[in-house]
Structure 1
Amino acid sequence: MTAAPALTPRAWTLLALLALIWGASFLAIRTALDEIPPLASVVYRTTPAALALWLWVALRRLPVPRDPRLWAAFLVMGVLNNAVPFSLMAWGQLHIATGLTSILNATTAVWGVLVAALVFSDERLTPRRALGVTLGFAGVATAIGWRALAAFDITSLAQLAVIGGTLSYALAGAWGRAVLRGASPEVAAAGMLTGASLVMVPLTLAVEGPPPVDLAPRTLIAIGYYALIATACAYLLYYRILAVAGSGNLMLVTLMIPPVAITLGALVRDEVIAASAYAGFALIACGLVAMDGRLLRRPRQPRRG
């Protein structure tokens, strides 16, 4: 694995901005869930975001692929990266705090390393990565709480739903690496969200009925934020950071999101999460640092003349 580029002040600024956008999305989604059901919240997220990204593609005059196999890949990617995780996490947020949801969401990178090691021959599970995965899963168990796992109630099920969403994200990452080639990131994101909408609209109609349209202003604002800002614009910002900072540094966003979500949940919704959740996040953070490896390397000694 090649070393990640050094973080410039500009890259740090973009990382912080993305963390703020995604951290606030947990509050926006929870606000919308006060009035709309979970599957409808996903439809209101993927469909406007897809339209916004296709508008961006048209304005940039980016080539749109015509290969049916690539569009089928977009559909699968939309299911794995949007439809499944968005639905599971939206339902989970009905029963657990937004801050805890963001902490559990941080395990996406842990699953990503494990899935990549199982699928790709060049992503071996080295001792350092195995340590990171172990710490990450220990953090998940700590954040959820061993007693909660033993009791297993609706809260435990909600937390496991969020974990299921992060596993789906990891599977999407492996799928995207394997099949999504030949399309620009913007087109891939637009196609993925389109595929998710094609799945979610009929599913929502069948399970929940037509999504409500007579919504309160605060719900409309929340939907507008998490669909257009935290999804469409965030994807464009994500790929911009990827270009200037590298994939290794993007992992830092995972650690920067929970503090934002926890703070906003406490300020706006008076949410309080258990001390075990903070301890779990600390373990997850240690696991991500171990997998990244840069802080564990010995600094090079300057050569003497």
Structure 2
Amino acid sequence: MTNPRISGGDWGIIMLLSLIWGGAFFMISLGLRSFPPTTLAFLRMALAVPPMLIALAYLGQKLPTDRRSWGQLFVLGGLNAAFPFMLFFWGQSHISTGLGSILNATTPLWGVVLAHMFTQHEKATPSRIVGVLLGLAGIIVMVGTGALKGMTSDVLAQIACLFATVLYAVAAIYGRTLSQSTMTPIVVATGQVFTAAILILPFMLIIDQPWTLPFARWDAWVGAFGLAIPSTAFAYFLYFRLIDRAGASNAMLVAFIQPVVAIILGVLALGESFATKEVIGAALIGLGLVAIDGRVFAKLAPRRSVP
């Protein structure tokens, strides 16, 4: 088998996910105004379960009933949601949003490395490696090197965020095996969110003791529901569909485009202007995506004559 290609429809899903998850950082900052990190992670999962179950019933699909499938969903829920969310939410409460976005953008790098090591059909190529490094450099340029000044402090928070991105990469590879089984992408997405909520619940009860917390502010609830409905219920269905179609390492390219989408939204909705560093960073990310896609370089490469 060869490396999965990214079709035009897949790029559309990547852009839509970048739009949705690009706003998730803002929703997290809103939610953390009142909710502790573990409680916010639980709310993100728990509030997403009802609409996902409704969508599942509407489509005439059901969650699995066998023990093996639920064991796989619990593994996926822990790797892709429960533990990385608790780690990243806690880390983001101690570091800047800019540094958090840079650390989050290492996800495709881990994805390329781990997919090369543990899969037979998503091997790293020179163009993919160069593309990932260009994309990471572009995000650092866009966010600004000033965000890297925080690298000297809050080391544990940074390690937590980085470990979360490694878990994301492992989960994407594992999730592709499930999405290509008898479970459809929406069943995998719903099962993952449901099991993640169960896994986070005891941590929330022990660490945060939510019954002792004051009632949350309205904007924190906006952040919680914003994370739960568009950023979880809808986005995970798209994400696992993308993994099934384009492969795990390609699906993780969303992390590169999120900052670009956030800046474009600022220009269109808030009347902000592009800074030079943002134009340069966006260009680097664009070159990185072209390199990862590979089709342009394949067309430019000289063809060998067949004897």
Same fold, TM-score > 0.5, yes or no: yes
Q: Which residue of 2 aligns with 1:194?
A: 194
Cα distance in 1 between the residues matched to 2:107 and 2:300: 29
The reply on whether 1:184 has 2:184 as its aligned counterpart is yes
Q: Which residue of 2 aligns with 1:44?
A: 43
The superposition leaves residues 161-201 of structure 1 with CA deviations (integer Å, 9 ceiling, x where unpaired) of 22221111001012223455211111111111111111100
How does the TM-score come out when normalised to structure 1?
A: 0.78
Unmatched tracts of structure 2, length 5 or more: 268-275, 303-307
Residue number among 4, 7, 19 corresponding to 2:6 in the alignment: 4
Cα distance in 2 between the residues matched to 1:163 and 1:277: 24
Cα distance in 2 between the residues matched to 1:288 and 1:183: 30
Partner-residue secondary structure (3-state), 1:22? helix
- Asked if 2 retains the 8 angstrom alpha-carbon contact of 1:106 and 1:284, the reply is no
The superposition leaves residues 176-234 of structure 1 with CA deviations (integer Å, 9 ceiling, x where unpaired) of 23455211111111111111111100011112212647211111111111111211022
- Asked if 2 retains the 8 angstrom alpha-carbon contact of 1:27 and 1:261, the reply is no
Supply the AA of the counterpart residue of 1:228: I
Per mean C-alpha deviation after superposition, the further-off stretch among 117-126 and 163-172 is 117-126
Closer/same/farther in 2, CA of residues 295 and 229 from structure 1, 3 Å limit = same
Supply the AA of the counterpart residue of 1:68: R
Partner-residue secondary structure (3-state), 2:210? coil
Q: How many angstroms does 1:34 deviate by?
A: 1.3
Closer/same/farther in 2, CA of residues 5 and 284 from structure 1, 3 Å limit = closer
Cα distance in 2 between the residues matched to 1:46 and 1:63: 19
Q: Which residue of 2 aligns with 1:221?
A: 222
Closer/same/farther in 2, CA of residues 285 and 99 from structure 1, 3 Å limit = farther
Cα distance in 2 between the residues matched to 1:157 and 1:113: 25
Per mean C-alpha deviation after superposition, the further-off stretch among 282-291 and 112-121 is 282-291
Q: Which residues of 2 match residues 213-292 of structure 1 at below 5 A?
A: 214-238=215-239, 246=246, 250=251, 253-261=254-262, 286-292=287-293
Q: Which residue of 2 aligns with 1:296?
A: 297
How does the TM-score come out when normalised to structure 2?
A: 0.77
Q: Which residue of 1 aligns with 2:65?
A: 66
The superposition leaves residues 115-158 of structure 1 with CA deviations (integer Å, 9 ceiling, x where unpaired) of 1111113333333334345556777888797996997321x443
- Asked if 2 retains the 8 angstrom alpha-carbon contact of 1:74 and 1:188, the reply is yes
Cα distance in 2 between the residues matched to 1:20 and 1:137: 18
Cα distance in 2 between the residues matched to 1:75 and 1:111: 22
Cα distance in 2 between the residues matched to 1:249 and 1:177: 11
Cα distance in 2 between the residues matched to 1:144 and 1:224: 30
Q: How many angstroms does 1:53 deviate by?
A: 1.0
Per mean C-alpha deviation after superposition, the further-off stretch among 109-118 and 119-128 is 119-128
Cα distance in 1 between the residues matched to 2:137 and 2:235: 30
Taking only the aligned residue pairs, the percentage that are identical comes to: 35
Partner-residue secondary structure (3-state), 1:61? coil
Closer/same/farther in 2, CA of residues 249 and 119 from structure 1, 3 Å limit = closer
Closer/same/farther in 2, CA of residues 201 and 282 from structure 1, 3 Å limit = farther
Unmatched tracts of structure 1, length 5 or more: 267-274
